[in-house]
């Protein structure tokens, strides 16, 4: 007789408590994905969906890459797992050296973890530990930005600035403050590339320094382009100004490149695109093309060196994860780097970005579109929301798009898109065409 715990059960949707999902609504009208290849998904019934979002901004090299599969399989045969605490395995060191070679400036050390959320919490901890190691232990305050998304750890939601991700969790981390967000459609609506107005918003950091004093501030964390809130490229000159102010006051600058890292803007990292080198950079998603969960914090030389203090037999950073630098993730990430290099995918994204920009902005005349913005192979479209029902229009547009064969992201009444970097021009046309229909049908 089959033991009760392994007895077959009817396939219903009840048991899975879905993340970031309206569970009851979804389970009444599910959207299931069963197969993926290239830039497409297929539903269990075989309906084809074009992937306008690279999964969740993560499948940059497209789905079902044989080279990554082979690398993971080889690693699984060779060694499934090895701890990274007081032990090591060759692939982790090899990968870190490859990342260091790809990164700009002296961002040449890599700390690995398993997600963007872990990367953010790790970066915040490294920043606090570094300030303390250099004798500035009073610098404990962390500065984020309104509308920022930095994952779901307590550190990440504390510095994050999206209200629905914060309001359920009480006080979170103490001693956090926020810069204002940079979205200003009154001055910048329908910007192509970087919005012209708003660099002065970086000066708000000077106001926070005047309020709290620099001696209490450890680090500032921003996404170079805010992603989850609906894709907001920074105003021209903004990130450069933030860098200058941080330097002036001994504050570490952290770029959360979980979305912008690995080619989204047509350069390896947003730091390359903007010519601004942060002290720490968080990554995930495109690092492994989403095949095996992985995240990382890239650290500049002075930060790493600053932590390599004290007696040599003492652990410098009491932080890490069982699966830090998991061999399967390292194998996948290395194979992904080969693909990015061999297929020139970052350059490809750069070449396609003006075609993408033209396509996106052609939606300007669709019903109720109030703003469109873009950079690299990403973009956001604001829709006029329905009175008294924030998010309803955005959700309906997302559902319509899915029914018509396109996957988009929705945040309140904003639609965001970020296709895999292997997308073809004709497929961009298809995405824009379906988006236009979905926006009209959900108006």
Ligand X SMILES: Cc1ncc(COP(=O)(O)O)c(C=O)c1O
Question: Which chain residues interact with ligand X by CB under 6 A?
Answer: 115-117, 120, 149-151, 223, 227-228, 256, 258-259, 284
Cα–Cα distance for residue pair 53/63, rounded to 1 Å: 12
Maximum Cα–Cα distance across the chain: 72
Closer residue to ligand X in complex, CB, 156/394: 156
Residue 160: alpha-carbon gap to chain centroid: 13
Closer residue to ligand X in complex, CB, 157/201: 157
Q: How far is the CB of 419 from ligand X (least distance, A)?
A: 16
Check: CB of residue 422 under 8 Å from CB of residue 38: yes
Q: How far is the CB of 296 from ligand X (least distance, A)?
A: 11
Closer residue to ligand X in complex, CB, 53/427: 53
Cα–Cα distance for residue pair 121/280, rounded to 1 Å: 12
Closer residue to ligand X in complex, CB, 359/376: 376
Closer residue to ligand X in complex, CB, 48/166: 166
Closer residue to ligand X in complex, CB, 143/432: 143
Cα–Cα distance for residue pair 338/132, rounded to 1 Å: 38
Q: Residue of minimal CB distance from ligand X?
A: 116
Q: How far is the CB of 156 from ligand X (least distance, A)?
A: 6
Cα–Cα distance for residue pair 109/227, rounded to 1 Å: 25
Residues 151-186, buried b or exposed e (16+ Cβ, 10 A)? bbbebbbbbbbbeebeeeeeeebeebbbbebbbbee
Tokens of 82: 């090895």
Cα–Cα distance for residue pair 422/66, rounded to 1 Å: 15
Question: Measuring CA to CA, which residue among 189, 191, 185 is closest to residue 236?
Answer: 191
Q: How far is the CB of 229 from ligand X (least distance, A)?
A: 9
Q: How far is the CB of 365 from ligand X (least distance, A)?
A: 30
Closer residue to ligand X in complex, CB, 232/330: 232
Number of residues assigned to the chain? 443
Tokens of 278: 């942060």
Tokens of 340: 């990015």
The upper half-sphere exposure of residue 163, i.e. CA atoms within 13 Å in the direction of its Cβ, equals 2
Cα–Cα distance for residue pair 265/225, rounded to 1 Å: 10
Q: How far is the CB of 34 from ligand X (least distance, A)?
A: 22
Q: How far is the CB of 282 from ligand X (least distance, A)?
A: 6
Q: How far is the CB of 284 from ligand X (least distance, A)?
A: 5
Q: How far is the CB of 164 from ligand X (least distance, A)?
A: 14
Q: How far is the CB of 58 from ligand X (least distance, A)?
A: 8
Cα–Cα distance for residue pair 209/204, rounded to 1 Å: 9
Closer residue to ligand X in complex, CB, 235/295: 295
Query: What is the DSSP code string of 23-63?
Result: HHHHHHS-----EEEBTEEE-TT--EEEETTHHHHT-TT-B
Closer residue to ligand X in complex, CB, 225/434: 225
Closer residue to ligand X in complex, CB, 119/208: 119
């Amino acid at each position: 007789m089959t033991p009760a715990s392994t007895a077959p059960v009817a396939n219903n949707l009840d048991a899975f408590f879905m993340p970031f999902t309206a569970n009851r609504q979804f389970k009444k009208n599910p959207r299931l994905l069963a197969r993926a290849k290239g830039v497409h998904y297929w539903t269990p019934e075989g309906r084809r969906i074009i992937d306008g979002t690279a999964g969740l901004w993560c499948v940059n090299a497209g789905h079902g890459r044989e080279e990554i599969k082979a690398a993971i399989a080889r690693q699984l045969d060779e060694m499934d797992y090895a701890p990274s605490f007081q032990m090591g395995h060759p692939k982790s060191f090899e990968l870190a050296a490859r990342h260091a070679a790809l990164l700009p400036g002296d961002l040449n050390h890599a700390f690995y973890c398993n997600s963007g959320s872990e990367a953010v919490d790790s970066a915040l901890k490294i920043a606090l530990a570094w300030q303390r190691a250099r004798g500035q232990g009073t610098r404990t305050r962390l500065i984020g930005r309104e509308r920022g998304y930095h994952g779901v750890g307590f550190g990440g939601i504390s510095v994050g600035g999206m209200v629905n991700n914060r309001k359920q969790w009480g006080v979170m981390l103490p001693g956090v403050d926020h810069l204002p967000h940079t979205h200003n459609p009154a001055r910048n609506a329908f910007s192509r590339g970087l919005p012209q107005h708003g660099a002065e918003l970086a000066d708000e950091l000077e106001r926070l320094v005047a309020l709290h004093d620099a001696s209490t501030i450890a680090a500032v964390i921003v996404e170079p382009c805010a992603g989850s809130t609906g894709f907001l490229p920074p105003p021209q000159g903004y990130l450069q100004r933030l860098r200058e102010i941080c330097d002036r006051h001994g504050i570490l600058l952290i770029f959360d490149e979980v979305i912008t890292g690995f080619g989204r803007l047509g350069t390896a990292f947003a730091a390359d695109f903007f010519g601004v080198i942060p002290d720490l950079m968080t990554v995930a998603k495109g690092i492994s093309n989403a095949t095996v969960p992985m995240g990382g914090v890239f650290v500049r030389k002075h930060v790493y060196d600053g932590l390599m203090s004290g007696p040599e037999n003492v652990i410098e950073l009491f932080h890490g994860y069982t699966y830090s630098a998991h061999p399967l993730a390292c194998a996948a990430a290395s194979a992904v780097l080969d693909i990015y290099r061999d297929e020139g995918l970052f350059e490809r994204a750069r070449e396609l970005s003006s075609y993408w920009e033209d396509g996106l902005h052609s939606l300007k005349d669709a019903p109720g579109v109030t703003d469109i913005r873009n950079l690299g192979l990403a973009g956001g479209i604001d829709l006029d929301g329905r009175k008294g029902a924030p998010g309803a229009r955005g959700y309906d547009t997302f559902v319509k798009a899915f029914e018509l064969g396109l996957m988009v992201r929705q945040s309140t009444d904003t639609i965001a898109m970020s296709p895999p970097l292997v997308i073809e021009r004709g497929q961009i046309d298809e995405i824009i065409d379906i988006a236009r229909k979905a926006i009209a049908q959900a108006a």
